[in-house]
Amino acid sequence: MADLLSLSDEVLCRIIGSISKVKDLHNVMLKVKHMLQGLSSKYFFIGEPSVVEVENMVNSESHAPDEWIESVLLNEIFNQNLNENLTTRFYARKMLRYFRSCVIEKKLKHLMALPESQKSILEGAVLISQWVQTEQEHLISLTEVELKLEDITKCVKQHLAEKSDTFTAKEILECINKVLYREMEFKVMQSDYSFEYFFIDKVLESRIGFPVTLCIIYREVAKRMGIYCEPVLPPKILLHRFYLKWNANSNLAGDTDCNQLIDPANGGSLHYFHPTTCPVVSTKEFLQRMVEYMRRIRLQSIRSGRREGRDRTHFQRRRNELCFSRLACAVSPDQTSSILLYAHLCLDLDVQLEDAVRLLQQVETLHDHRLMEKCIQKLNQKNSLVTKKKVIHLRSSSVKYAVGLVMIYKDSACKPPLLCVIDSWTHHDPDRIFYNVLFDDGDSSFVAEDNLKLNTNVSFVSSHPNIGLSFERFNGRRYISNAEMMTLFPDDEAFALSLVG
């Protein structure tokens, strides 16, 4: 105690401040954990927490930085035994995605509200990358991307310094081309439709990307070398491809050479076109085209998968399309067509209806739209499930399996046979039982009992995104139901225990 009293007032204030901060963080952790533990009983029959729940979490912790709430959610998802607390982790993932999306959307709105001269295509590209990767443990930051761009710029400067003390703008561009394309070997992805070739952080690591992302990288390096470039559409307008206007005598915005263009997707080669054939693209239009190109690449990926016999499920494809449609709304909140497409997808998938209604309400011309009425009607139907009397499934002698068992799906079309987990069962008729099973690829389906066989390989762990909706943990042999599932299937726990332990 005497040692503490001997410290200066400034040091004591810092110590007290640190203790107070730790206490506040601990309180945030307890409140968020308590909220997560209560979500299953409220939203089990809906399958996802309300958007209002996210807002309540943020507003109730208004004194806490966003990073604190995000840190607690990440800890629940990634720093726990992956076979335990599945239900809490399921809702933590949902809340993390909604929470991060809200934060990113606010940043996008702020960016789009700035004057054109202050808007940053780079910042928009980073936010887009974050949006599609909201469930990742670490989201790349603008600062991290800028540091990587600075490293490239240093290489360019070093090469120039070895040649001369003075150099022209064209010599700078030639040096940028040498560093980017010959030494670092940046190149355009031609055949793979993976999204990682859009994300600027991934492209800076792999040095392979789609033309739109290479355009951003080239533009940023040139800007750091004192050459201002403006993105333009080429004469033959391609959705995914941009050229860069530049000026050999000036690095000022709006003073670019109107007939000399850089093609970042072709090694930085120069082209000459008439000014009227190459309109300058605004930041908003650039980002809109980037999002639309991502959506189209996704469709190409689906078609490619079909040709190669590896097509993913219809549900998963629609969920991916939902992600990009919502992103388009965030980038262009005033674009009616994007909002309508998103609302249609929400209605089709029976998800995020609250969010769809809110977006429709923001556009006055859509208040009386038929789609608004359908979304509200379906939302009310979903909310009524919470208070609806639950149907209890009591076992009979004809039910051979139980919820939580890991099964082999014996459909002859599947080679090798697929593994799945029983999520529920129902009597198709007095003598026939059908089971709803969860497959690893995110699909679920009702299958006949004859197509299932008990799996004896205890190493299988399901990666189905909804496994935590119904199950609390995996004991190495089967999935243990959470409280809500046990209420619906009260006899299945004892039966499953008798089969596999």
Query: Tens digit of pLDDT for each residue in 232-257?
Result: 877 665 556 788 988 755 554 444 44
**Residue 390 DSSP one-character state:** P
Distance separating alpha carbons of residues 150 and 141, to the nearest angstrom: 14
From residue 322, give the alpha-carbon distance in Å to each of 299, 319, 341, 369: 13, 5, 9, 20
From residue 131, give the alpha-carbon distance in Å to each of 72, 78, 107, 147, 454: 19, 19, 11, 21, 40
* Positive or negative torsion for Cα 97, 99, 102, 106: negative
Asked whether the beta carbons of 361 and 367 are under 8 A apart, the reply is yes
| Structure-model confidence comparison of residues 95 and 296, the more confident one | 95
Q: How many CA atoms lie within 13 A of 357 on its CB side?
A: 16
pLDDT of residue 315: 55
CATH of domain 142-286: 3.10.620
Q: Is the pLDDT of residue 311 over 50?
A: no
* Positive or negative torsion for Cα 366, 371, 372, 373: positive
Per-residue pLDDT band for 12 (boundaries 50, 70, 90) equals very low
| Structure-model confidence comparison of residues 2 and 159, the more confident one | 159
Taking the model in full, what pTM does it have? 0.84
pLDDT of residue 310: 40
Distance separating alpha carbons of residues 501 and 495, to the nearest angstrom: 9
Asked whether the beta carbons of 246 and 227 are under 8 A apart, the reply is yes
Asked whether the beta carbons of 422 and 437 are under 8 A apart, the reply is yes
Cα angle, residue 317 at apex, residues 316 and 322 outer, rounded to 5°: 95
